[in-house]
Amino acid sequence: MRQFGLIGYPVSHSLSPWIHHEFSKRADIQATYKLYELAPEEFNEKISALKRKLDGFNLTLPYKEKIIPFLDDLDETAKESGAVNTVVKEGKRWLGYNTDGIGFVRSLSEAYPQLLEEESPKLLILGAGGAARGIFQALRMKGFSQIDLANRTIEHAQSLAQQFSVNTRVYSLEEIEARLTSYDLIIQTSSVGMAPRTGESIIQLAKLKKSTIVSDIVYQPLMTDFLKQAKAAGAHIHLGHTMLLYQALYAFEKWTKTYPSVEEIGQTLKQKLKGS
Ligand code: ATR
């Protein structure tokens, strides 16, 4: 029996055990996936024991950076984002990856393949934290070259833009509301709108063109206020649960070298989240 898990604080509401159980069933792999809630003061002491016990693991807040000194190497995604969400054991070596950004891009390209065929679509990322960094990096790697940023704190967006791109423009949240019609894809990467503060939206989406795809990485609730506004404006929407699913799939694929199909799991996950 192979043993995987999620390390974080808190982790009790995580859907990852259910998702990985579904992957294991479909891939016909004998595996467990458990939650390990480590308080910050016990992290250093307990992580070594968990490394002895587990065959691979995921990390969530607040440990995506703190794990790095305990690993032997990082791949490009983890190096550039400075954060690790997936740890893979290869022989005696522990390798850190970040599958959040590529998970997002895969979920987007499954839902909207036409976006990848467009000449040079204009993209906007709202927010400039860890999630924005991972998504920005993955979009650049996929070949998107026109990516602008808008954030509450301009300096955070400026430093992200400097890290990744030559022609990124940076806006305040107030400025961007009047410029939304320029974009083919808008991605909301902050936690604004997440339960229990469901009535909030990072910006107002009154001025939107109908062909724009609007994405929110928040998946609790599935239909955020931000996405409701996008729908009301006639735009296309992209739900956050698919990023959760695909970042988990990349981890599972790296651990087991098997490739389960996810379509049905995505549908069930959506129903589960709708009911929550
Ligand atoms: P994560 O690493 O999970 O992405 P984070 O580093 O806390 O989380 O980043 C959160 C992002 O959401 C930041 O861009 C933050 O804006 P600031 O850079 O100004 O802090 C943004 N954010 C969080 N709460 C917000 C709010 N109430 N209104 C607007 N932006 C908010």
- Whether the CB-CB separation of 150 and 182 falls below 8 Å is answered with no
For 12-60, how does the pLDDT look when each residue is reduced to its tens digit (9 = 90+)? 889 999 999 999 999 999 999 999 999 999 999 999 999 999 999 999 9
Mutate to test the pocket of ligand 1, among 152, 153, 177, 224 (most ligand atoms within 8 A of CB): 152
Q: Average pLDDT of 224-228? A: 97
For a pLDDT cut of 70, what percent of the chain falls above it?
Answer: 99
Structure tokens at 275: 């009911």
Regarding the beta carbon of 150 and ligand 1, being less than 6 Å apart is answered: no
Which among 129, 186, 141 is positioned nearest to 165, based on CA atoms? 141
CB contact set of 107 (below 8 Å; sequence gap of 6+): 238, 242, 243, 245, 246
> Does residue 85 line the site of ligand 1, with CB under 6 A?
no
Is 82 a pocket residue for ligand 1 (Cβ < 6 Å)?
A: no
Question: Active site includes 64?
Answer: yes
Instruction: Determine which residue's CA is closest to atom 27 belonging to ligand 1.
Output: 192
Give the tens place of pLDDT for each residue, 56-73: 999 999 999 999 999 999
- Give tens-digit pLDDT for 180-203: 999 999 999 999 999 999 999 999
d(CA 245, CA 206): 30
pLDDT at 147: 96
Atom of ligand 1 at shortest distance to CA of 153? 19
- Report pLDDT for 13: 87
Instruction: Flag whether pLDDT at 117 surpasses 90.
Output: no
Whole-number pLDDT of residue 143:
92
Of 51, 64, 122, 142, the catalytic one is 64
Q: Residue 87's beta-bridge partner residues? A: 57, 96
pTM of the model: 0.93
Place of tokens 């036409």: 114
Q: For residue 218, how far is its CA from the centre of ligand 1 (angstroms)?
A: 12
Instruction: Report the alpha-carbon distance of residue 176 to residue 170 in Å, rounded.
Output: 9
Cβ-based burial of 207 (10 A; exposed 0-12, middle 13-18, buried ≥19):
exposed
User: Ligand 1 pocket, 260 CB below 6 A?
Assistant: no
Cβ 202 under 6 angstroms from ligand 1: yes
Task: State the distance from the centre of ligand 1 to the C-alpha of 190, rounded, in angstroms.
Answer: 5
If we measure between CA atoms, which residue out of 38, 32, 33 comes closest to residue 11?
38
* Ramachandran quadrant class, 193 (left: phi over 0; alpha: psi -120 to 50; beta: rest): left
For residue 187, the SS3 value is strand
What is the pLDDT, as a whole number, of residue 276? 62
pLDDT of residue 75: 95
